[in-house]
């Protein structure tokens, strides 16, 4: 079991919500798909490590700031005598290796992920030196997608191609048991973790977003609602209206963290339905603050 589990970032959650409530600009939509694909690749990697027991500490998705520089570690394994970090790449198709770049056949040029992995490895090693921790840091770029092919790949221990991944994890062993030293190091790294760094948000406003409550199965917005349950027009699933209103309110708070949550605003946000349903959910979930038109829920 991972010492730090992977969860969807605030950034990815925000883009998911916006994609259902507005038409994203082409570059924002491309960025959203990239985030989504990165997360899917990371989940595939986690399936390979979820059965590790006792011989290492697994920290997933660290977003760190060290020496006034921010960087991300997709996955980090802390053993008794070493740290191993992984840069997880979910590319697919045919690629050509070059020292500074990868060229996707028939499409274009990408920065070589090995450069980012090496930079991250150096930064992490420097931080360990600052802390007086004498452990070596190793790093791998993991090409997780089985439909990825890399031509001219060097015989380099810093790359794990799809055909090499199963064997690598079968042979991954540790000689010594962990001690409190490794746990203290893991906690120290977690203390530097900042899940909100490097936020690249598109511009959006309340008025331009589609209103409604989300289906729990497919995410489609129900623009009107009535009764306790209602069938989704997209996938046919029976939607619990009360639960969907709760989810809709939580979505609003994620998208507009600085705006007050009022009954009238939430009734508008949840679409065409009885406003008293929204009011009852607010009373149940939050505490009222203020009176009259200035009343909000926190």
Does pLDDT of 67 surpass 70? no
Pick the range with the lowest mean pLDDT from 25-29, 34-38, 223-227: 223-227
Adjacent-strand bridge partners of 213: 222
Helix (H) or strand (E) holding 184: helix 180-191
149 beta partners? 94
Of 141 and 50, the one with more pLDDT: 141
d(CA 151, CA 129): 37
From 211, 257, 216, select the one nearest 235 (Cα to Cα): 216
Place of tokens 């009734």: 267
Q: State pLDDT tens for residues 251-283.
A: 999 999 999 999 999 999 999 887 888 999 998
Nearest of 70, 82, 98, 59 to residue 189 by alpha carbon: 59
Environment class of 96 (CB within 10 Å of its CB; exposed 0-12, middle 13-18, buried 19+) = middle
Quote the DSSP letter at residue 175: S
Which residues make beta-bridge pairs with 70?
65
Write out pLDDT tens, residues 33-48. 999 999 999 999 999 8
Residues 6+ apart with CB under 8 A from 227: 241
Count CB-CB contacts under 10 A for residue 201. 12
């Amino acid at each position: 079991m991972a010492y730090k589990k992977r969860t969807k970032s605030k950034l990815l959650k925000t883009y998911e919500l916006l994609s259902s409530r507005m038409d994203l600009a082409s570059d924002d939509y491309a960025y959203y798909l990239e985030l989504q694909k990165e997360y899917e690749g990371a989940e595939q990697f986690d399936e390979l490590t979820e059965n590790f027991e006792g011989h290492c500490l697994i920290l997933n998705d660290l977003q760190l700031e060290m020496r006034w520089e921010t960087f991300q570690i997709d996955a980090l394994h802390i053993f008794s005598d070493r740290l191993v970090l992984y840069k997880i790449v979910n590319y697919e198709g045919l690629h050509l290796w070059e020292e500074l770049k990868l060229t996707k056949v028939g499409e274009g040029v990408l920065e070589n992920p090995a450069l980012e992995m090496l930079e991250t490895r150096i930064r992490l090693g420097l931080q360990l030196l600052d802390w007086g921790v004498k452990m070596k840091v190793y790093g791998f770029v993991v090409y997780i997608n089985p439909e990825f092919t890399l031509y001219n790949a060097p015989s380099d221990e810093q790359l794990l191609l799809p055909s090499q991944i199963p064997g690598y994890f079968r042979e991954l062993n540790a000689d010594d048991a962990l001690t409190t030293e490794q746990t203290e190091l893991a906690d120290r790294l977690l203390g530097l973790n900042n899940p909100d760094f490097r936020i690249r948000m598109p511009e959006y406003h309340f008025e331009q977003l589609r209103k409604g409550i989300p289906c729990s199965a497919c995410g489609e917005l129900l623009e009107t609602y009535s009764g306790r349950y209602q069938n989704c027009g997209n996938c046919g699933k029976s939607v619990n209206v009360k639960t969907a209103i709760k989810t809709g309110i939580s979505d609003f708070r994620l998208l507009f963290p600085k705006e007050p949550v009022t009954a009238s605003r939430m009734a508008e946000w949840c679409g065409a339905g009885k406003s008293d349903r929204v009011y009852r959910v607010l009373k149940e979930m939050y505490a009222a603050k203020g009176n009259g038109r200035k009343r909000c829920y926190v």
